[in-house]
Amino acid sequence: MKKIFIILIFYLFSTNILIADEHKCSGMKKLSKEYLACTAKNIKEGAVKKKDQVKEGTKKIFNKVKTKIKKNN
């Protein structure tokens, strides 16, 4: 169980939350309402995408553990 926990923590720290297909917000003024909405949208999309990747990764890890437990029994 400790190995799974360590692997999960390592996986979460090694990934970057802001890896997403970013929209170009550079043409807008920095403190405008549109710029803030654009950057917030980029952050939200990146977080949702990373959450899904982490969820898939944990499913794979737990499936491997389940199969090892079944083999030992």
What local confidence, expressed as pLDDT, does residue 15 receive? 58
For 14-66, the pLDDT digits (tens) are 655 544 455 678 887 888 898 888 888 888 888 888 888 888 888 888 888 88
Which residue reads 């990934």 in tokens?
15
65: CB partners within 8 A, 6+ apart = 4
**Is this structure's pTM higher than 0.75?**
no
What local confidence, expressed as pLDDT, does residue 20 receive? 45
Residue 1 reports pLDDT greater than 80: no
